[in-house]
A and B are shown apart, each in its own frame.
Chain A
Amino acid sequence: MPHTLAGHPVPPGSALLLGGSFLLRTGTGYAFHYVRGDGVTVERAVGADPAEQELWLNGSVHAAIAAINGFLPFHASAVAWDGQVFAVSGPSGAGKSTLAAALGRHGLPLFCDDTLVLDISDPARVRCLPGRKRLKLSEEALVLTGARGREKVSPMVAKRYAEPAGGVVEAVLPLGQLIFLADGDSIRLEPISGARRMVLLDDDHYTAEFVAVARGESRAERFAWLAGLARRTPMQQLTRPRDVAQFDAVAARLADWIKKGVRP
Chain B
Amino acid sequence: MTGVLAKRGDAFSETTIDDEVVLLNLADGTFFSLTGTAARIWGLIDGTRDRAALLADLAAAYGVPTAAIAPDVEAFLAQLGEAGFLERG
Identify the A interface with B (CB < 8 A).
193-199, 202, 219-220, 223-224, 227, 230-231
- Specify which chain A residues have a CB less than 8 angstroms from the CB of B67 in the assembled complex: none
A239, chain B: closest CB distance, angstroms: 20
Cα distance A193–B15 in the bound complex, in angstroms: 14
Q: Write out the residue numbers on chain B whose beta carbons fall within 8 Å of the beta carbon of A224.
A: 13, 15
The number of residue pairs between A and B whose CB atoms lie closer than 8 Å in the complex comes to 40
Interface centre among A195, A196, A198 (most CB of B within 10 A): A195
Q: Which residues of B contact A198 (CB under 8 A)?
A: 17, 22, 31
Chain B contacts for A230, CB-based, 8 A: 17
Cβ-defined partner of B13 (8 Å) among A193, A196, A202, A223: A223
The interface on chain B, measured as residues whose beta carbon lies within 8 A of the other chain's beta carbons, has a size of 13
Check A194–B33 contact: CB distance below 8 A.
Answer: yes
User: Which residues in window 25-61 of B have CB below 8 A to A?
Assistant: 26, 29, 31, 33, 35
Are A219 and B26 neighbours in the complex by a CB distance under 8 Å?
Answer: yes
Q: A198-B31, A219-B26 are in contact. Are A227 and B20 (CB under 8 A)?
A: no
Tell me, in angstroms, the Cα distance from A196 to B24 when the chains sit together: 13
CA distance A227 to B29 in the complex (A): 14
Q: Which residues of the other chain, B, contact A197 by a CB distance below 8 angstroms?
A: 17-18
Q: A198-B31, A199-B31 are in contact. Are A223 and B24 (CB under 8 A)?
A: yes
Q: Smallest Cβ distance from B22 to chain A, in angstroms?
A: 4
Ordered by A's residue number, 18 sampled pairs between the chains whose C-beta atoms are within 8 Å are A194-B17, A194-B19, A194-B20, A194-B22, A194-B33, A195-B17, A195-B20, A198-B31, A199-B31, A202-B31, A219-B13, A219-B24, A219-B29, A220-B13, A220-B24, A223-B24, A224-B15, A227-B15
